[in-house]
A and B are shown apart, each in its own frame.
Chain A
Amino acid sequence: MTTRRPEGLTASMLIGPATMVVMLSLVLPLALLARYSLNKYDRRTFMIDAFTPENYLRFVTDPFYTGVLWTTFSIAIVTTLLCLLLGFPIAYKLARSQSRWKSIGVLLIILPLFIGSTVRALGWMGVLGRGGIVDAAYGALGGSGISLLYTSFAVGIGILSINLPYMILTLQSVIEGIDARLEEAADSLGADPTRRFRHVVLPLALPGIGTGGILCFILAMNAYATPFLLGGARFQMMAPMLYREFAVNNNWPFAAAIAFILMLTTLSLTAVSGLLVQRRYRAP
C-alpha cells in the first residue's frame, strides 16, 4: 500500500524543475545584467562596482543613441505593418484553401525558416550590393553603379523577408479558426467583400493580428544579423550597437544599460498594443 502524497506537493514537484530552469537561465542573468548596468566603466579595469544611473543618462542624452533607438523602432514598426499588409492576403488564402496544394503552400512559407537569418542576409547582399543582381540589371538598362546595400531599404527588406513567415503562420491559424459560414452569413445579409472583411473577418482576426504584430515587432526590434550585414556602419540598429559596446569597446555597464533600454522599450510597446487589441476585442 502506498501513502497518497498531498496534491499540492505533487504539483509543486512537477512545476519545480521548470521553475528552477527559468530562474537559472533567465531571471538570474537578467538580474546580473541589471546590476552591471548600474556599474561604472573604466579603461583599465573595465568595470567598477558602483550604483549610478550614468549609463542610462548617457544613452538618453546623446542624440546618437536615441537616434539609433528611434531608427530601430521605426524599422520595427514599418516592417511589422508591411508584414501585416503583405501577410494577411496570403494567410487568408491559405486558411480558406481546400486545395491539395495547400500543404505545399504552407511548406513554402515555412521553408525559409530553415535557413538562418545570417545566410539570408548574405543572400540579400548578393542581390542588393555593388555588382549584385539589382546593380547588374540596372546597368543592363543603361544606368550605372547602384548599390542599395547599407540603407534603410536593405535592412527593411531583409527583416521583412525574415519576419513575414511568422506573421503568415500566426494569421493563418487564427483565420482558420473563423468559421467560413460567418462570412457566408455576412454575404447573405448583403455585405459586399470589403464590408464583410471590415465587419466580420477583421474584428475576429484581431487577436491574431495582435499576436503576429507583437511577434514581428519583437523580432525586428532585436534583429541582429540583418542590420549588421545589410545596414553596416551607415545604418545602425540597437542589437548590433549593443554587441559593439559589449565586445569591441568592452564597456559592459553601458552595454547592459542598452540591453535594458531595448528590452523595456520592446516590452512596454508590446504591452500597450496588447491592451489596445484586448480592449477592441473585449466582450463580456
Chain B
Amino acid sequence: MSATSHLRIEGLTKIYGSTAAVEDVNLEVAQGEMLVLLGPSGCGKTTTLRLVAGFVAATRGRILVEGKDYVSLPPYQREMGMVFQSYALFPHLTVAQNVTFGLRMRKLSKAEISSRLEETLEMVKLTTMADRYPRQLSGGQQQRVALARALAIRPKVLLLDEPLSNLDANLRQSVAREIRQLQRAAGLTALMVTHDQDEAMTMADRLVLMNEGRVQQVGTQEELYEQPLNPFVARFIGHSNLIAGDIVDADSFRLPGGGVMKLARRYAQRGPHTLALRPERVRLHVGGDAAPPRATAQVEDATYVGGYVDYLLSFEEGSSLALHEPTGATGGTRRAMGETVAITWDSLNERLFDPKGTTIPAMESA
C-alpha cells in the first residue's frame, strides 16, 4: 500500500493554543481512491481537510502527494481541487467564468480553456447553464458547478467538505452517485469529510473515523462495522449497545447490579470490561433455540417501525439494551411492555473492550 499511495499524510498535527485540533494523523490514500473522514462535530475531520488544502498551517507533519511534501506550500500552489460545503461559487461570475477561474489563473491558452470548459460542463451536464449566474441555479446545479470548477483544474487531489449537506434529502443519493462516478471516471484521489454515517458508507472506498482530533480507525465499511477497534467506533458506526460489567469467569459477564450474562465466547481476561452488542445482532430467544438464553431482560419500550420492532430492554440492574427484531418472521407482533424476555446472540457479534478501550481476543474455542 505505502508504495502505491498517492496522497500520504504523516504525523499531521494542528495545535490551537494548548488544545490539539488534530493530533498525529497518519493516512494513506491510493491513486483513484475515495477516503472519507467521518466523525462527530469538533472531531478534527474538517481541520484535517483544511490542513491538506493549505487553508490552515500545520503545527507538525507532512502532506505528501506523489512523494512531494506540500505542507509548507501556500494553497494556491497545491493543485488541490476543493468543493466547499457552501459551494463558495463566485457570485459575480457566470457558470462558465466560475468553471474557468482556475484555468485563467494558470494562464492557459484561450483554446485550451474553452475546450476544457466544454468538456467539464458536459461532464456535469450543465452545458446549457454556462451563461447563468450562480444565484439563478438550484442547489443541485450549484453543487455541480462547484464540482466542475474543482475538476477543471485537473487537481492532484479532490477535497470535498460535506458536499451533500446543503442538498435536499431526496437529491443526496443521486448527487452522491454522480460525484462518485465523476471521481472514478477521472481516476481522482479524493478526500471527503462528512458527519453523516450513511453518506460516508455510500461514498467511501475506505473510511477514517475520527474523534477528539485523533484517528480512531481506518478501514472499509465492513471492517469498521464488524470489527470496531474501540467502543467509540462501535457506538458511532451503527449505534452499538455498550454495556459495562466485569468478566468474572471465562464466559460470564457480571453487570453492576449482580446479574450475570453468559458470553458467547471464552476469554482469558478478568475484571471490568465493556460489552458491545449491535441492536440488530441481538435476538429474542425463542423456544426452538438450541442454546440456553444468554440473559433475561424486561421490555421497557417497544416501537414498531416497519422493518423491525425497536425494543428498549432493561436488565434488573438498570443497564439497558436496544434490540431490533425483524418483523418478517414474526409478522409484526410486539411484546408487551413489562414482559420478561430472554435474549441471545452469536459469537461473531460479541465484542469486549478492556478499560483502555482496546478490543480483547477470545480464547481458542473451548
**Do the two shown chains form a genuine complex with each other?**
yes
Q: Report which A residues bind B (CB closer than 8 A).
A: 179, 181-182, 184-192, 195-196, 199-200, 203-204, 281, 283-284
The answer to whether B70 has its CB under 8 Å from any CB of chain A is: no
| Known A179-B86, A184-B55, A199-B101; contact A189-B91, beta-carbon cutoff 8 A | no
The answer to whether B153 has its CB under 8 Å from any CB of chain A is: yes
Chain B residues whose C-beta falls within 8 Å of the C-beta of A187 in the assembled complex: 54-55, 74-76
Q: Are B92 and A190 in contact (CB under 8 A)?
A: no
Q: List the B residue with the shortest CB-CB distance to A187.
A: B75
Q: Are A189 and B153 in contact (CB under 8 A)?
A: yes
Cβ contacts A to B, 9 pairs, < 8 Å = A182-B88, A184-B53, A185-B89, A188-B54, A190-B77, A190-B106, A191-B105, A204-B92, A281-B92
Q: List the B residue with the shortest CB-CB distance to A188.
A: B82
In Å, the complex CA distance between A204 and B80 comes to: 24
In Å, the complex CA distance between A151 and B79 comes to: 54
If over half of A's interface residues share one DSSP class (helix, strand or loop), that class is named, otherwise mixed; here it is helix
The answer to whether B78 has its CB under 8 Å from any CB of chain A is: yes
Interface mask (B349-360 → A, CB under 8 Å = 1, otherwise 0)? 000000000000
Give B4-24 interface residues, CB cut-off 8 Å to A: none
Interface mask (B237-269 → A, CB under 8 Å = 1, otherwise 0)? 000000000000000000000000000000000
User: B76: which of A192, A203, A281, A284 is its contact (CB, 8 Å)?
Assistant: A192
Instruction: Identify the interface centre among B76, B80, B149: most chain A CB within 10 Å of its CB.
Output: B76
Q: Are A188 and B105 in contact (CB under 8 A)?
A: no
The answer to whether B315 has its CB under 8 Å from any CB of chain A is: no
In Å, the complex CA distance between A184 and B56 comes to: 11
Give min CB distance, B75 to chain A, whole Å. 4
| Known A184-B75, A189-B153, A190-B105; contact A203-B92, beta-carbon cutoff 8 A | yes
Instruction: Identify the interface centre among B74, B90, B159: most chain A CB within 10 Å of its CB.
Output: B90
Q: Are A200 and B75 in contact (CB under 8 A)?
A: no
Give min CB distance, B36 to chain A, whole Å. 19
Q: Are B91 and A188 in contact (CB under 8 A)?
A: no
In Å, the complex CA distance between A90 and B103 comes to: 31
In Å, the complex CA distance between A184 and B74 comes to: 11
User: B84: which of A181, A192, A199 is its contact (CB, 8 Å)?
Assistant: A181
Q: How large is the interface on B (under 10, 10 to 19, 20 to 34, 35 or more residues)?
A: 20 to 34
| Known A187-B55, A188-B76, A191-B105; contact A181-B133, beta-carbon cutoff 8 A | no
User: Count the A-B residue pairs with Cβ separation under 8 angstroms: how many?
Assistant: 72
Q: Are B88 and A179 in contact (CB under 8 A)?
A: yes
The answer to whether B81 has its CB under 8 Å from any CB of chain A is: yes
| Known A188-B53, A188-B75, A190-B76; contact A181-B91, beta-carbon cutoff 8 A | no
Q: Are B105 and A195 in contact (CB under 8 A)?
A: yes
Q: List the B residue with the shortest CB-CB distance to A189.
A: B102
In Å, the complex CA distance between A199 and B89 comes to: 13
Chain A residues whose C-beta falls within 8 Å of the C-beta of B91 in the assembled complex: 182, 204, 283
Give min CB distance, B66 to chain A, whole Å. 18
Q: Are A188 and B133 in contact (CB under 8 A)?
A: no
Q: Are A186 and B101 in contact (CB under 8 A)?
A: yes
In Å, the complex CA distance between A186 and B77 comes to: 12
Chain B residues whose C-beta falls within 8 Å of the C-beta of A185 in the assembled complex: 82, 84, 88-90, 149
Q: Are A190 and B79 in contact (CB under 8 A)?
A: yes
Q: Are A188 and B90 in contact (CB under 8 A)?
A: no
Give min CB distance, A84 to chain B, whole Å. 19
Q: List the A residue with the shortest CB-CB distance to B86.
A: A181
Q: Are B101 and A188 in contact (CB under 8 A)?
A: no
In Å, the complex CA distance between A189 and B120 comes to: 15
Interface mask (B133-162 → A, CB under 8 Å = 1, otherwise 0)? 100000000000000011001000001000
In Å, the complex CA distance between A192 and B77 comes to: 8
Q: Are A188 and B86 in contact (CB under 8 A)?
A: no
In Å, the complex CA distance between A191 and B107 comes to: 11
Q: List the B residue with the shortest CB-CB distance to A192.
A: B76
Give min CB distance, B38 to chain A, whole Å. 22
Q: Are B84 and A184 in contact (CB under 8 A)?
A: yes
Give min CB distance, B117 to chain A, whole Å. 14
In Å, the complex CA distance between A200 and B105 comes to: 12
Chain B residues whose C-beta falls within 8 Å of the C-beta of A200 in the assembled complex: 90
In Å, the complex CA distance between A164 and B75 comes to: 33
Q: A179-B88, A185-B90, A283-B92 are in contact. List 13 more A-B contacts (CB 8 A).
A: A181-B88, A185-B89, A186-B90, A188-B76, A188-B159, A189-B101, A189-B105, A189-B149, A189-B153, A190-B106, A192-B76, A195-B105, A199-B101
User: A283: which of B88, B133, B153 is its contact (CB, 8 Å)?
Assistant: B133
Give min CB distance, B89 to chain A, whole Å. 8
Chain B residues whose C-beta falls within 8 Å of the C-beta of A182 in the assembled complex: 88, 90-91
Q: List the A residue with the shortest CB-CB distance to B94.
A: A283
In Å, the complex CA distance between A185 and B76 comes to: 9
In Å, the complex CA distance between A192 and B54 comes to: 13
